[in-house]
Amino acid sequence: MTDHQNAAPTQYGRVMLKISGEALMGDQGYGLHPPTVARIADEVESVQKMGVEVCMVIGGGNIFRGLQGSAQGMERTTADYMGMLATVMNALAMQSALEAKGLHCRVISAIRMDEVCEPYIRRRAIRHLEKKRIVIFAAGTGNPYFTTDTAATLRANEMNCEAIFKGTKVDGVYDKDPKKHADAKRYGEVSYDEVLQKHLGVMDASAIALARDNRLPIIVFSLDEPGGFRGILEGRGTYTRVHI
């Protein structure tokens, strides 16, 4: 294991920020917590001000989780589509928070709903990023049976991002849940294959495999740490790097 506390600054030109829907609900048990959404928007703003182009994928678990709906007897495809719609709601909330700060932001949905957001057109999305607009990709991949982790990895590859930043509740990848086990050990860096073999739970297997096949590094860090997102880009902070 290596510690990144004193790592040299690494400058990324374009990154994907992946966060869960649960990250938007703060201490509530459900839904959106506007102050928490605004705080995450602050993090994104601070990174964009560094000149880094930022795109985002936000999960929908704070509103509806397809797998849970399926487990309760709902037909899986229908449940997954409902989960995709939840991600659109979260994306619009984040767009509103970012625009309140004077930032330019576009929500791009894999499911057409032209009245509220743009349809996914790769070249248009890249152009938004080149114009320093924040792009939020909603509705996952547009297909059931795929998670927003896979959607984030897919879009990151399509947008030519240099890394995926996965914001979580803990400051990296551990061999077991650090909130339940005091002896949990954090990895400074870990390979894609180790993540899959040890079931480390960074992202689902299809997302990890897609990142591995395209050599796209995943940076796992704590979204609860104020300034953590920017800090890593400046070469500070604690995180885990998943790579070859």
Summarised one tens digit per residue, pLDDT across range 167-178 is 999 999 999 989
Partners of 136 in the β-ladder = 56, 107
pLDDT of residue 234: 92
pLDDT of residue 237: 92
Whether the pLDDT of residue 9 is over 70: the answer is no
Three-state SS string over 133-152 comes to CEEEEECCCCCCCCCHHHHH
Whether the pLDDT of residue 130 is over 50: the answer is yes
What is the tens place of the pLDDT at every residue in 178-237? Answer: 989 999 999 999 999 999 999 998 999 999 999 999 999 999 999 999 999 999 999 999
Rounded to the nearest 10°, the torsion over CA 196, 197, 199, 201 is -30
pLDDT band with cut points at 50, 70 and 90 for residue 66:
confident
Q: What mean pLDDT do residues 60-76 have?
A: 88
202: CB partners within 8 A, 6+ apart: 166, 173, 195, 208, 218, 220, 240, 242
pLDDT band with cut points at 50, 70 and 90 for residue 10:
low
What is d(CA 38, CA 30) in angstroms, rounded to the nearest whole number?
Answer: 17
pLDDT of residue 67: 80
For residue 82 the two structure tokens come to 């409902």
Model pTM score: 0.93
What is d(CA 230, CA 1) in angstroms, rounded to the nearest whole number?
Answer: 23
SS3 assignment, position 176 = coil
Q: For the chain, what is the mean pLDDT?
A: 93
Nearest by Cα to 167 from 12, 19, 14: 19
pLDDT band with cut points at 50, 70 and 90 for residue 8:
very low
What is d(CA 199, CA 78) in angstroms, rounded to the nearest whole number?
Answer: 28
What is d(CA 25, CA 37) in angstroms, rounded to the nearest whole number?
Answer: 8
Instruction: Return the higher-pLDDT residue of 6 and 166.
Output: 166
* Number of Cβ atoms within 10 Å of the Cβ of 36: 18
